[in-house]
Amino acid sequence: MRLLPTAIAASSLLAGIVTATLPNKGTFTYDEHSFLLNGKPYQILGGQMDPQRIPPEYWRQRLQMAKAMGLNTILSYIFWDSIEPVRGQFNFKGRNDLAHFFDLANKEGLKVVIRPGPYICGEHEWGGLPWWLSNIDNMAIRQDNAAFYNASKAYIDRLGHELRRFQISHGGPIIMTQLENEYGSFGSDKKYLQAQAGLLRNNFDTPIYTTDGGGVDYLKGGTLSGVLAAVDGFDPIPAFEARQEYLKTDPTVGGPLMHGEFYTSWLDLWDSDYPHSTPTYAWSGIPAMVDSLDKVVKGNNSFGLYMFHGGTNFGFEGGSTNSGKQGSVTSSYDYGAPLDESGRVTELYSAIRKMLVANLPAGSVPEVPATPPMLAVPKFELKPVSSLFDVRVDKPTLHADQPVTMEALDQATGFILYQHTATEDATGAVHAGDHARDRIIILVNGVRAGIQDTAQVPLKTVNVTLKQGDVLQLLVENIGRVDHTHEMKEQRKGIVGAIKVGDKALTGWDMFSLPLKDISAESIADDNGPPNIKEQNGPVFYTGSFDVPKGVKIGMAADTYLSFPAGVKGQLWVNGINLGKLWHIGPQQSLFVPGAWLKTGKNEVVLLELEPTADTKLVGEGITTRQWFNQPSQDN
């Protein structure tokens, strides 16, 4: 018995939706009621897992855990900005080695649905759009625009070249491809959707589909005639009802019901008042969620859990949100998912598995693979070794009368230091262009005067007094481009406009690009010795190390969560790998450290503390059970 009927008047229109195939290879199609794998009904029991958020060393284990929960399909976003970090330069290595991930999925007997964008949202930096789009003339994102079409065509064409052999028609696991992402939440430009659909069809011979919120208005904007419409959200029943209602307007988007993003929880933001999202936070509890999912399964409808395994926003990869104030997405993308950030089972995993096992043929779900306990790392001390400004700043990237943006300096993420030496006295509030983009530490003669942050509404006022010869510094942090937007101009980072003190616009600026790549203890060593933090309140690099005992196998047995309780805000590198951001306000209070990236014996730790004080004593510790909690902001 189906959850909802899917009778569609224009069934003849659906009959033509098929997949081109090669001899003796697979097919994936759909009719009015069902997906068809090699001509037989196939119910997508899916879970979202993005390989670019997961160490490649763990891909196979994560896929095995998906299969052991009862899933048969993996849904994966693909991050354009990671694959093409510089225009025309593509990177399919490391966490971008999608071919390897999909090959592993195939070997594990899992099918794959790809969600390549070009825009994907996903709480990722600018929703997966590359920063350099801002530097292209006449660019307008996510609409019928020649510049955006040409840029996205180069990306999709290259992606098609890399992944073509992994499609079902070539004997691979890829069975469907998503067109754009929740476009109905942002626009209704059908010419744009048609153009993007053409790019996908030119490169992939799988069926394509759209995913939109479970409301008629969302579907009106985001669907495209002739393309299967899926829906998403927390509760599938009203979402399915909305899809069925919309078929009265356009029956050609009909077909089997699919809840493309069945939310298991919700995202986490850095905020003093933001709780860690769990199934209990998002739903009324795990039983209610599993009961809803059970109805989808018993109705012979398809789903994709969002997320099955969230992974990590490593480095500067997390995006931000803007709902009146800008919020930075945490480094952890745990998402309260069935498989936690470290790849271990949760109560939700066990509950969903129990339900799926009850619905599937006996013996069809494999046993859950064993996972080792995590590694406890004894406390270790970090010592200050250098000032960010002294070590990373040699000569200005640019000197100009007025400040320029991060993009104008050909920089994607990280920090920019704007430095001005006063030629005359000035007193008053600092106005950094049109608004903070996104977080500004303001210093006078090396002493922190205050912080402005777009998460603060209204923006805090920071007053300074400058005498001739004083040095004013504005260290601007890109906390992540907003991941759910049509706007492009608002995603330029750094300073946009003049910097004023009171009513006086200051001219003459040295700008230092600080992307903070390839950080190691050796690279930040200062010949002059450690900084005197009593006299210098600018950002400081601290270093230390911890050991992995010889008896511990490198891999999941060496996984840990590093915690630095005395830290305020910073960035962490372990063995030269940028693991992400730390911020005392929470809810995230520790960073996941994949044991696969560690080594037996000494492991190097570098922590950039953005807001040190004279009595800052940084001590690290590796814990095995993550603690989520919030603290009030200490920003002055």
Name, in order, each residue with C-beta under 8 angstroms of 444's C-beta and a sequence gap of 6 or more.
Answer: 464, 465, 466, 470, 471, 472, 473
| Bridge partner residues of 440 (DSSP) | 452, 476
The whole-angstrom separation of Cα 29 and Cα 11 is 14
Q: Respond yes or no: is residue 261 known to be catalytic.
A: yes
Joined tokens for residue 92: 């399919």
Joined tokens for residue 409: 């300096």
What DSSP designation does 331 have?
Answer: S
CB 493 within 8 A of CB 436: no
Phi, psi dihedral angles at 156 (to 5 degrees): -65, -40
The whole-angstrom separation of Cα 561 and Cα 417 is 31
Q: Given the structure tokens 């284990």, which residue do they identify? A: 61
The whole-angstrom separation of Cα 46 and Cα 289 is 15
DSSP string, 519-563: --TTTT--TT-S--TTT--S-EEEEEEEEE-TTSPSSGGG-EEEE
Among 84, 123, 125, 182, the active-site one is 182
CB 169 within 8 A of CB 205: yes
CB 589 within 8 A of CB 543: no
CB 416 within 8 A of CB 441: no
What's the sign of the alpha-carbon dihedral 521, 124, 117, 76? positive
Helix H segments across 247-340?
A: 279-282, 286-298
Helix (H) or strand (E) holding 496: none
What DSSP designation does 465 have?
Answer: E
Q: Which residue, 341, 347, 239, 339, is CA-closest to 290?
A: 347
Helix (H) or strand (E) holding 82: helix 80-83
Among 84, 125, 180, 261, the active-site one is 261
The whole-angstrom separation of Cα 23 and Cα 7 is 32
Joined tokens for residue 225: 């005639």
The whole-angstrom separation of Cα 399 and Cα 545 is 38
Measured at the CA of 211, the angle between CA 210 and CA 214, to 5 degrees, comes to 135
How many distinct helices (H) and strands (E) make up the chain? 12, 32
CB 514 within 8 A of CB 414: yes
CB 64 within 8 A of CB 108: yes
**Catalytic residues, which ones?**
182, 261
